Structure 1
Amino acid sequence: MALRVAVTLGLPDRLRHDGVPTGELAAELDVDPVALDLLLDHLATLGIVERTPTGCKTTAHGAQLCVDAGNGLSDLLDVNTAGGRGELAYVELAHSIRTGRAAYPRRYGQDFWADLAEQPRLRESFDRQMTHRFHEQLPRIVVGFDWSRFPTLVDVGGGQGSLLAAILTANPAMRGHLVDLGATAADARRTFAAHGLADRAEVTAGSFFDPLPAGADAYLLFDILHDWDDEHAGRVLGRCAEAARPAGRVLVLEGVAGRLADSRSSLTMLAVFGGRERRLDEFRALAAPHGLVLASATDLTDQRCLLEFRSG
């Protein structure tokens, strides 16, 4: 919590250069100076800051918590971001274990997605977090599967477009179509323009619970289904199945319990969203009512597996 509060107050960035006297810093941040000094003492114990003749200064170790550190930690720790708020829902984990439902609404009064819709700053931090979460795995995802089998690919809930942009760049004959909610869809258009893909990548602003653009060769769900309980995850798969028929494929790319998903991730999906990481048999059961049959399962990274479904 000391690290979370430090990041929320912006201390690693604020103390990055010259030391700042505690009293001056407290006035600037509108916090209690005695309490701030206690926090700084503990941060010094942790090696995040160091005392200097002029005040406290961020250490090289503490600089890993800065906004521009490139590791995504600030978006996970700041309690005013989507990631930080989501992880604090763990205090209600007992509720989730008792009921099988998300802890997030119990803590905040409404579900995670309603929070994002109402607070643009939360949505922006969530989009950054989602883009960052697979950055290191992106090359393996692109080369580990023959995406070129599908001349047209719809990335359903594709976020800011990083994955689809990488796939299209590596496969010049392909065309892509990304579907996501309005503000995120606008970010995706900018991503495709920046990669010179505007002529091959279409963007539609919309929900994956609504009808999807029909007739593509494949529909990709990347880290989508584990965010939802079986009812909602089934609805998403159903939309993909109806859009893909008769010959299109549905591609699910995420962790698979008992294979490439850890127990911590499952608890996070439960507490924040009311979802979970599923086993292969659970994916089969989820897909069957929509006429989908699991054709193959390919391990792409040490965290994610690609499940290819065809119409049965």
Structure 2
Amino acid sequence: MSIEETTPPATVGELPPEFTALMRLGDLATPMAVRVAANLRLVDHIHDGAHDLESLSKASAANRDSLRRLIRHLIAINVLSEPTPDYYEPTEIGKLLASDHPVTQLGWLDPAHMIGRADLALVDLFDAVRDGRAVYKQRYGKDFWEDVSDDQVLGDTFYDLMAHGQLRIFKEVVEQGEWDGVRHILDVGGADGDLISALLSREPGIRATLLELPGPAARARTKLARAGQVDRFDVVDGSFFEPLPVTADLITLSFVLHNWSDEDAVRILHRCVDALEPGGSILLIECAEQSHSTPDPGFTSGDLRMMVYFEGRERTYDEWVKLADAAGLEITSVSDAYAYGARVLKLVRRSSQ
């Protein structure tokens, strides 16, 4: 038999580059492989000395052959490397899966964490787009906020992850904001108090009230007390769909309204209007992409998550204008973009009111 007869035939025609691009975009195997690597803590185990397949299989309690095949794909997509046979190391990308990395991505990817868990509901995006409703409950039997409230591990991983991303934004907002004349700030849905803590540290003349559900409210009390700010704040358990507990000359809503439909967001804003002192204002910290700009994939993917998780939505600036108008408000200023595309929108009562 000749060499020609044993050599695989050459490709008759090369596939167009758009074919490869589309296949990469539609590939579910790769994002799921990364999530499995996160859940198994493969990079942590490697850092602890488990560099070979046998050691990694034992450390992660994973089937040896199945793990080998997973690792082979992780090498192919540049998450792990194999500098010598059966010796594995994380690449620079793979290092982001270490739990102690400064910008670890475990919280976003591990299905044992709240967002990693919620992201699996994107498999049901078909139903969300067709029916116009959230599908998280369809997959898990509870809605998103029930899981956050009822399961301490899921709740802790959710609020810790949100804080990790938002601390930088809050620091920038507080440093660049105008706080002259503000006496009392009401932080509505303020999670565990990071915005209030940053503001009180910079502005000694301001008092604050934070409204939250019982779980994050308890976390806020602990964090603010630890920061030595206990004499300048009140934390109130409650819902922003009910009358707000106090009035204030400044009300803040940080990454709250994107969790809700337009109808519910207007209800929340109405509660804020009712609690606003004369001449006061509302600050929204949200993404607000320009409507005429080329869509940013971070903005659009976040919007799909809002749709799937809880029928919320990321909004363009023009959509915020319409929402504010529906609540009897007008936007008087919008900041430049902060980290992750966040902006500060200042709302006041419509002048005609």
- For normalisation by structure 1, the TM-score amounts to 0.89
Contact 2:249/2:277 (<8 A) preserved: no
Q: 1:13 aligns with which of 40, 44, 49?
A: 44
Query: 1: distance between equivalents of 2:79 and 2:104?
Result: 19
Query: CA 1:26 to 1:98, structure 2 compared with 1: closer, same or farther past 3 Å?
Result: same
SS in 1 for 2:335: strand
Unpaired segments ≥5 residues, structure 2: 1-31
* Residue 265, structure 1, aligned to residue 302, structure 2: yes
Query: CA 1:47 to 1:296, structure 2 compared with 1: closer, same or farther past 3 Å?
Result: closer
* Partner of residue 322, structure 2: 285
Per-residue deviation at 1:77?
0.4
What do the CA deviations read for 1:25-72 (whole angstroms, capped 9, x no partner)?
434544322111212233334242546688545455433211121214
Aligned length: 312
Worse overlay, 218-227 or 193-202: 193-202
* Residue 96, structure 1, aligned to residue 128, structure 2: yes
Worse overlay, 39-48 or 64-73: 39-48
Query: 1: distance between equivalents of 2:74 and 2:48?
Result: 16
Contact 2:149/2:215 (<8 A) preserved: no
Query: 2: distance between equivalents of 1:284 and 1:47?
Result: 42
Per-residue deviation at 1:18?
1.5
* Residue 310, structure 1, aligned to residue 348, structure 2: yes
* Partner of residue 7, structure 2: none
Query: 2: distance between equivalents of 1:300 and 1:176?
Result: 25
Per-residue deviation at 1:21?
4.8
SS in 2 for 1:179: strand
Q: Tell me the C-alpha RMSD between the 2 structures.
A: 2.5
Contact 2:96/2:104 (<8 A) preserved: no
Per-residue deviation at 1:222?
0.6
Per-residue deviation at 1:281?
4.1
* Partner of residue 196, structure 2: 164
Larger Rg: 2
* Partner of residue 75, structure 1: 107
Mapping of residues 147-162 of structure 1, within 5 Å = 147-162=179-194
Q: 1:142 aligns with which of 174, 187, 195?
A: 174
Task: Tell me which amino acid in the other structure corresponds to 2:342.
Answer: R
Mapping of residues 205-224 of structure 1, within 5 Å = 205-224=237-256
SS in 2 for 1:294: strand
Task: Tell me which amino acid in the other structure corresponds to 1:137.
Answer: I
Worse overlay, 51-60 or 220-229: 51-60
* Partner of residue 298, structure 1: 335
What do the CA deviations read for 1:263-300 (whole angstroms, capped 9, x no partner)?
22222222222111223443343334543333333335
Question: What is the aligned-residue identity percentage?
Answer: 35
Larger RCO, structure (CA 8 Å, separation 6 or more): 1
